[in-house]
């Protein structure tokens, strides 16, 4: 039984919520029948999955990407519900609902999360200024924050799946799948991304071409990030906390654990480091938020934002063919740009007839806001 009650009043409220986040309820249209919620912590490869799904099967499924309930408020002004309730409501409406979470190895996850907003949040300065900072200064700040940088396990902590419904991660299949209340929950690992296409074939019965998207190594901060990764030596006491992490033990087999720990022990320092305790971190977070003034809204977050107008569909077919040929995708499906390209092609081919009227967006491309609100006080 679902934990949520959907009476007439709540149904009407949640239908409005669906409309705000781009979920349509006309089940005579194929893509409205199947919803895939990529609902997981940031910096685990979720944007790659979202863009890959949209690029490959946007005519068959609707893909929703959310990190937490705060995003509902910030992006859509939704304050009276949770992501979990939206998921259960759409199953209540008779849709096929999938929910995807991804595990990433802890140290790399923390690094990527730290660098996601190192300029606008942690140091409140430009990337150009950051380039003048010593690497030791960045490492020291990272170490102070280390235990508080997010590594949440949505599959086992947020989805409310009874633990008796799953035992261990399937290291042979390289995914964990549980069906609960008619909803299919899937846990992947970022380290297995080269298997994702085969995994999705098994789970969705559809062919998904995986396209890398929004990697920190490819962003403006990449020079600083690469320098940080090549110079970082982890304090020994941090490795000890990783060894005892429930996630680390659950999502890595014994050989993977030994290999990972050996790799970081070879890049460690014997000195211990004392990070911020909880009260210090909360104070740091408060001061940083008060000083924070830079805009973190990203208009072009995805390779594929999901717009289904005729111009974006045309561009999607072009990029999908590149993906099928194994070519790297360096372009994005952005409505305004796709529209211009479509109209220019019409003019070039002398087929320009009322093209503006048919370029109506069915889904408004979303602005993504980098968030700093995910705190994990334990590993």
Segment-wise mean pLDDT, segments of 10 residues, the chain, 379 residues: 89 97 94 97 94 95 95 93 98 98 97 93 92 97 95 92 91 97 98 97 96 66 94 96 95 98 97 96 92 58 80 87 85 83 78 54 54 46
pTM of the model: 0.87
Length of the chain: 379
The answer to whether 44 and 251 have CB atoms below 8 angstroms apart is no
CA distance 242 to 244: 5
| Per-residue model confidence (pLDDT) at position 167 | 87
| Per-residue model confidence (pLDDT) at position 376 | 43
Paired tokens of 336: 């305004």
DSSP state of 93: T
From residue 109, alpha-carbon distances to 55, 82, 187 in Å are 26, 25, 16
CA distance 132 to 138: 11
Q: Collect all residues with Cβ–Cβ distance below 8 Å to 349 and sequence separation of at least 6.
A: none
CA distance 99 to 169: 16
| Per-residue model confidence (pLDDT) at position 87 | 98
| Per-residue model confidence (pLDDT) at position 352 | 55
CA distance 355 to 362: 16
Closest CA to 36 of 200, 202, 215, 251: 200
DSSP state of 79: -
């Amino acid at each position: 039984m679902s934990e949520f009650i959907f009476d007439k009043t709540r149904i009407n409220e949640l239908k409005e919520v669906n409309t705000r986040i781009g979920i349509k309820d006309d089940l005579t249209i194929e893509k409205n029948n199947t919803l895939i919620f990529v609902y997981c912590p940031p910096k685990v490869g979720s944007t790659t999955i979202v863009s890959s799904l949209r690029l490959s099967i946007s005519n068959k499924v609707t893909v929703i990407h959310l990190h937490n309930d705060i995003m509902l408020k910030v992006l859509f002004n939704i304050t009276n519900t949770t992501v979990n309730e939206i998921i259960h409501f759409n199953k209540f409406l008779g849709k096929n609902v999938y929910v995807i979470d991804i595990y990433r190895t802890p140290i790399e996850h923390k690094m990527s999360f730290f660098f996601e907003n190192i300029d606008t949040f942690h140091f409140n300065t430009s990337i150009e200024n950051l380039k003048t900072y010593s690497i030791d200064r960045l490492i020291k700040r990272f170490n102070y924050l280390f235990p508080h940088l997010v590594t949440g396990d949505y599959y086992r902590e947020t989805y409310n799946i009874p633990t008796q419904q799953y035992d261990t991660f399937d290291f042979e299949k390289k995914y964990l799948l549980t069906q609960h209340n008619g909803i299919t929950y899937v846990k992947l690992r970022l380290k297995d991304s080269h298997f994702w296409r085969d995994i999705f074939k098994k789970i969705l019965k559809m062919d998904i071409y995986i396209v890398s998207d929004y990697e920190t190594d490819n962003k403006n901060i990449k020079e600083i990030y690469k320098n940080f990764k090549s110079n970082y030596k982890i304090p020994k006491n941090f490795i000890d906390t990783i060894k005892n992490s429930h996630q680390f033990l659950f999502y890595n087999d014994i050989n993977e654990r030994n290999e990972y720990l050996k790799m970081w022990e070879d890049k460690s320092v014997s000195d211990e480091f004392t990070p911020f305790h909880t009260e210090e971190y909360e104070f740091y977070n408060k001061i940083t938020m008060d000083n924070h003034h830079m805009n973190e809204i990203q208009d072009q977050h995805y390779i594929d934002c999901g717009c289904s107008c005729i111009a974006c569909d045309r561009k999607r077919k072009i990029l999908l063919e590149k993906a099928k040929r194994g070519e790297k995708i360096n372009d994005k499906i952005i409505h305004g740009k796709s529209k211009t390209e479509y109209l220019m092609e019409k003019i070039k081919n002398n087929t320009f007839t009322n093209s503006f009227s048919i370029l109506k967006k069915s889904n408004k491309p979303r602005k993504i806001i980098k968030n700093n609100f995910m705190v994990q006080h334990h590993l």
